[in-house]
Structure 1
Amino acid sequence: MKVLVTGGSGYVGRVLCRRLLPGHELHVLDSFRFGRSRFAAEEAAGARVHACDLGEAQAVSDCLGRVAPDAVIHLAAVHYIPECEADPRRALATNVTGTVNLLSACPAGSRVIVMSSAAVYEPSERPHRESDPTVQQPVDMYGLTKLHCESYTRYFARERDFSALLVRLFNVVGPGETNPHLVPEIVAQALTGKNTLALGNITPKRDFIHVEDVAEGLDRLLLAPTVARREAAVLNLGTGRSHSVEELVAMLAAIAGRDISIETDPARVRAVDRPHLCADTTQLEHALGWKPTRSLADAILDLWKSRDLPTSLLERYAENFPEPE
């Protein structure tokens, strides 16, 4: 199958592309905001790479016209919530306008998987279901952009005659993150030898899913006969389990082999943050006969061992890391 992945050099994209390379003709469309060096030379040689900004409508149209993909997996986005809040125009330009540019160029008959987000859901104490009537209640700029993307995906699936799958992704963790989210932040601080971590919001609970499970789920969805042409379906991609920051730090302490405590840093506290986020995975398990198998502790351990952290955190902390064992 000829598969085009947008954002293929990003966090989820890099792991997904490594899974897809052996069995597909892989095309990567990316602006390479985080650099080309994220792929090993042999990996880069196996994929057809298209340097392209989704904001350039004609360039996107020309690229998809040349490639004529059987399937498109759309991962590219500004997904770091503080960045979206600080620069909403950029978030809109990339997440909404960029998505429209892509969808309007997708070939008829193709399968299109669009990454949405759990951020489209209204805050709730119970697991979020795809059919929740309160879905259209995002509390931040990122969630608003993803909600718009869902509407445009449904529209273009009808107009362009392709099948679409909207994947509402929960909190991704593990090696290779490109933004300083919570888990890489606490691992980076702990690697410096700190026993007291300075964090922001510490009371929310999140559904953390290993990046390898995300890639495996998307790989399976690529071939699953779940959606008819001109239609768009929705699936959650999470674990169905949520964890607090305290639980997360306790797992890290067990891995590090020492006591680690938390102190709240007012400068890191987000003004907008939902208290609880957890996926109902019933539809995912029904569609694939599969569910994520890796735990949050697995993801923390993998990140601890690999030190594959965002560049911004490496620049801040890496000089204080101990030598690898």
Structure 2
Amino acid sequence: MKNKVLVTGADGFIGSHLTEELIRSGYDVRAFVYYNSFNSWGWLDTLSSEVKKELDVFTGDIRDPYGVKEAMKDCTHVLNLAALIAIPYSYHSPDTYVDTNIKGTLNVVQAARELGMEKVVHTSTSEVYGTAQYVPIDENHPLQGQSPYSATKIAADQMALSFNKSFDLPVAVIRPFNTYGPRQSARAVIPTIIGQLAAGQTSIKLGAVSPTRDFNYVKDTVNGFISVMNSSRSVGEVINIGSNYEVSIGETAEIIAELMNVDLHIETDEQRLRPSKSEVERLWADNRKAKELLGWEPIYGGKEGFRLGLKETIDWFTNPQNLATYKTDVYNI
């Protein structure tokens, strides 16, 4: 294909899956990974040799405008996934979220404007909606910064969209709901549950179990990114990518325990609880816009799709080689 696609945050959970799928689909991909002295490419290191040999890896820092622009040279499209995303960490280190999420986004769209890129896909999050004021949540729902993380993502979204309005830069904002699947960090609830159970703990530690989420399997999220990138109708738009299925954290834990054939007891761990006004109590995606504009629909939608996605996730995490990379007895902030 003539397009060369830059994926920022390619070393992360969603970014590695997206990079892998793009390469398998025949795209020319440059993977922007966070520079470190260990020469680690994050989850890209675990990909097959046939995929890795096709990788064009650029090590840098999304906070540095010069490196970002250098990485984007010769690329036609950029999928911007580089971000700090852990909500608890944002409570005590908010400044790093401003630099990474807001300034990082500015670096991407400014370079894209100067280089005349064909498309920028900026990654948002369902956390920008805060606790649902109505359900299902469509793209017109009010934005509520209930954590420093979500506040910086609101600002980053608006920064990206402002470059479309101000400079006619072809920007689209993809807003995935709670993505889960293999390789996800243990800071997220589904790996936390699976990891503790896989390590033999039948009494597991969680935070609040009453909030609901719209969990989206990573393969569906990846297909959403590619659909947004390839659609001319996505320019200037914010598009939810979600399963349109709402489930509580508590019920999610019960389903996982059933699939793993283990008894479950949940202990409330105070350090895992968000401040009461910061907790997002309810998320449920309206995905009609994605269907209408992109023709995208979740393959893993509904209760049965959720169970299927969980089964694939459990299979990955319970592989001893994969489980060994997680500290299941330590709270991952």
Offset from partner CA, 1:204-255 (integer Å, 9 cap, x none): 0000000111011111222122145xxx211001111111122111211221
Shift of 1:91: 0.8
Q: What whole-Å deviation, never above 9, does each CA across 1:90-136 have from its counterpart, x for those lacking one?
A: 1111001111111100032511110011111142252211122x22x
| Matched-pair contact (CA < 8 Å) for 1:81–1:140 | yes
Write the distance in 2 (CA, Å) between the matches of 1:78 and 1:179.
Answer: 14
Question: Is 1:302 paired with 2:306?
Answer: no
Structure 2: 5+ residue runs without aligned partners? none
1:298/1:157 CA distance change after superposition, 3 Å: same
Q: CA, structure 1 residues 154+120, in 2 after alignment: closer, same or farther (shift >3 Å)?
A: same
Matching residue of 1:314: 326
Q: In the alignment, is residue 249 of structure 1 matched against residue 253 of structure 2?
A: yes
Name the residue aligned to 1:275. 281
Contact 2:231/2:294 (8 A) holds in 1: yes
Contact 1:13–1:75 (CA under 8 A) maintained in structure 2: yes
Report deviation, 1:199. Answer: 0.9
In structure 2, the partner of 1:43 is: 51
**Partner letter of residue 51 of structure 1?**
T
Aligned residue number for residue 27 of structure 1: 30
Q: What are the residue-to-residue correspondences of 1:161-310 with 2, within 5 Å?
A: 161-228=168-235, 232-271=236-275, 272-294=278-300, 295-307=305-317
**RMSD between superposed Cα atoms in Å:** 2.2
How far does residue 282 in structure 1 lie from its aligned partner after superposition?
Answer: 0.9
Q: Scaled by the length of structure 2, what TM-score is found? A: 0.87
Distance in 2 separating the partners of 1:283 and 1:21:
27
Measured after TM superposition, the shift of residue 37 of structure 1 is 5.1
User: Aligned equivalents of 1:78 and 1:146: distance in 2?
Assistant: 10
Partner of 1:110: 118
Which residue is equivalent to 2:76? 70
| 1:10-31 C-alpha deviation (Å, 9 max, x unpaired) | 1101111111013211111121
Question: CA separation in 1, counterparts of 2:324 and 2:222?
Answer: 24
- The 8 Å contact of residues 228 and 234 in structure 2, kept in 1 or not, is answered as no
Cα distance change of structure 1 residues 310 and 277 upon mapping to structure 2, 3 Å threshold: farther
Do the aligned residues in 1 keep the contact of 2:7 with 2:81 (CA within 8 Å)?
A: yes
Whole-Å separation in 2 of the counterparts to 1:290 and 1:169: 13
The residue that corresponds to 2:63 in the other structure is 55
Which consecutive segments of 4 or more residues in structure 1 shift more than 6 A? 308-313
Moved more, 109-118 or 263-272: 263-272
Contact 2:31/2:56, CA 8 A, preserved across alignment: yes
Compare 46-55 and 116-125 and name the one that shifted more.
116-125
Offset from partner CA, 1:117-157 (integer Å, 9 cap, x none):
1111142252211122x22x221111111111121112222
Q: Distance in 2 between matches of 1:266 and 1:312?
A: 26
Displacement after TM superposition at 1:49 (Å): 0.8
Matched AA of 1:12: I
Q: Which amino acid aligns with 2:292?
A: H
- Paired residue total: 311
CA contact (8 A) 1:129 1:279 kept: yes
* Structure 2 counterpart of 1:15: 17
* Inter-partner Cα distance in structure 1 for 2:234 and 2:199: 48
Q: Tell which deviates more after alignment, 88-97 or 30-39.
A: 30-39
Provide the rounded CA distance (Å) in 1 between the counterparts of 2:30 and 2:179.
23
Q: Which runs of 5+ in 1 are unaligned?
A: 319-325
Q: Find the partner of 1:86 among 71, 83, 92.
A: 92
User: Take 2:324 and 2:163, find their aligned partners in 1: how far apart are those partners?
Assistant: 37
Amino acid at match of 2:22: L
Further displaced range: 166-175 or 250-259: 250-259
- Contact kept, 8 Å, 1:9 with 1:32, in 2: the verdict is no
Query: What is the CA–CA distance in structure 2 between the aligned matches of 1:144 and 1:25, rounded to whole Å?
Result: 34
Task: State the Cα distance separating 1:62 from its structure 2 match.
Answer: 2.4
- Structure 2 counterpart SS, 1:236: strand
TM-score (ref. length: structure 1)? 0.89
